[in-house]
Amino acid sequence: MIGSGNIATFFGMKLKKAGYTFTQVVSATLAHAQILAGKLECDYTDNITQLTQDADAYIFAVKDDVLLEFANNVKLADKLVIHTAGSIQLNELKSISSSIACIWSLYSIQKDNLPTSTQIPLIINYTDKSVQKIVLQLAHAISDKIYELDDHQKSITHLAAVFANNFSNHLFTLTHQILEKENIPFEIMLPIIQNTVEKLAHTLPAQNQSGPAIRHDEKTIHKHLQLLADNPQLSLIYELMTKSIQTQG
């Protein structure tokens, strides 16, 4: 296991529970490597040049820029190398090994609060059909929800995830700031947020759209923009989102 963060911990613990044996944890932070190695019952190091050469598979669970740096410095011949990045394509790592695969978790993992669900979506792909079986076995040890996508489909899914997760969470952050300014508790929004997400289980997002934008309620939209008059950035976001909803609607 190369890495010791959220995904490394999640994948590592799941695979160990399924009976897989780890030989080594490699992490830039020695203390973090030691902690994960203790859980996985294996050796550890903070020096990538000390990477063992006799493992059956190598899981690179590190940040994208670090992963690309490894592509220039780590050579593993024909060993199975599995990366966990949503935005990195297989051919970007071909200098590491002739056998590259990906297992990407479409979920926000926190190592101090690991998910217990077996329905977390995992996206897999690989350069060589001969490793399909082992990649599927490893993925199924982590989750029951497996999707096989090519690199382009995976990139589009990663882009969509940024809209669905990162951007929506930022909107929640802005919502919190708007409310906090007037001493209104953010928890007042939780039921409507939960309701919005729950409806997605049985209807398409476009069918659930509500609010002044979809109704073309120009009077309310104008009032909202007046309330945001002292914050040009929020005003711009409001106007862009309004126009986007109206265009889609």
Q: Which CATH class is domain 155-248?
A: mainly alpha
The two tokens of residue 241 are 């989102």
Instruction: Calculate mean pLDDT across residues 98-117.
Output: 95
* Position 161 pLDDT exceeds 80: yes
**pLDDT, tens digit, for every residue of 182-241?**
999 999 999 999 999 999 999 999 999 999 999 999 999 999 999 999 999 999 999 999
Give the mean pLDDT of 155-160. 96
Average pLDDT of every residue of the chain: 96
Residue 134 — very low, low, confident or very high, per pLDDT cuts 50/70/90? very high
**Position 125 pLDDT exceeds 70:** yes
Predicted confidence (pLDDT) at residue 165 exceeds the cutoff of 80: yes
> What is the rounded average pLDDT of the residues 82-97?
96
pLDDT per residue as tens digits for the range 21-44: 999 999 999 999 999 999 999 999
Average pLDDT for 127-139:
95
Fold of 6-149: Rossmann fold (3.40.50)
- Percent of the chain scoring above 90 in pLDDT: 98
pLDDT, position 13: 98
* DSSP secondary structure string for all residues of 105-135: E-S---TTS----S---EEEEES-GGGHHHH
Report the C-alpha gap between 41 and 159 in whole angstroms.
36
Identify the band that residue 249 occupies on the pLDDT scale cut at 50, 70 and 90.
Answer: low
- The encoded tokens of residue 45 equal 């190091």
> Where do the CATH 1.10.1040.20 domains begin and end in the chain?
155-248
The yes-or-no verdict on residue 105 having pLDDT over 90 is yes
The per-residue pLDDT for 10 is 98
Q: Where in the chain is the domain with CATH 3.40.50.720?
A: 6-149
- What pLDDT does residue 248 have? 86
Whole-number Å distance between alpha carbons of 114 and 164: 21
CA distances from 122 to 104, 147, 148, 206 (A): 5, 6, 8, 26
Contact status, residue 207 vs residue 240, Cβ threshold 8 Å: no
| Gap between the Cα atoms of 4 and 200, Å rounded | 34
Query: Over 70: is that where the pLDDT of 15 sits?
Result: yes
